[in-house]
Chain A
Amino acid sequence: ETGVTQTPRHLVMGMTNKKSLKCEQHLGHNAMYWYKQSAKKPLELMFVYSLEERVENNSVPSRFSPECPNSSHLFLHLHTLQPEDSALYLCASSQEVSRWPNEQFFGPGTRLTVL
Chain B
Amino acid sequence: AQSVTQPDIHITVSEGASLELRCNYSYGATPYLFWYVQSPGQGLQLLLKYFSGDTLVQGIKGFEAEFKRSQSSFNLRKPSVHWSDAAEYFCAGLFSGGYNKLIFGAGTRLAVHP
Within 8 A of B (CB), among A65-104: 90, 97-104
Instruction: Assess whether B27 is interfacial by the CB under 8 Å rule.
Output: no
Say whether B107 contacts A101, CB under 8 Å: no
- B42, B46, B51, B106: the one within 8 Å of A108 (CB): B42
Binds A, one of B11-19, B53-61, B73-81, B97-105: B97-105
The CB with the most chain A CB atoms within 10 A, among B36, B43, B90, B107, is that of B43
| Cα–Cα distance between A1 and B9 once the two chains are bound (Å) | 35
| Cα–Cα distance between A27 and B45 once the two chains are bound (Å) | 16
Chain B interface residue bracket vs A: 20 to 34
Chain B contacts of A100 at CB under 8 A?
A: 96, 100
| Cα–Cα distance between A82 and B107 once the two chains are bound (Å) | 25
Residues on B lying within 8 angstroms of A by beta carbon are 32, 34, 36, 41-46, 49, 51, 90, 94, 96, 99-102, 104-107
Residues on A lying within 8 angstroms of B by beta carbon are 6, 31, 41-43, 45, 48, 50, 55-56, 90, 97-109, 111
Q: List 21 A-B contacts (CB under 8 A).
A: A31-B99, A41-B106, A42-B104, A42-B105, A43-B104, A45-B101, A45-B102, A48-B99, A90-B43, A97-B99, A98-B100, A101-B32, A101-B51, A102-B99, A102-B100, A103-B34, A103-B49, A103-B94, A106-B36, A107-B43, A111-B41
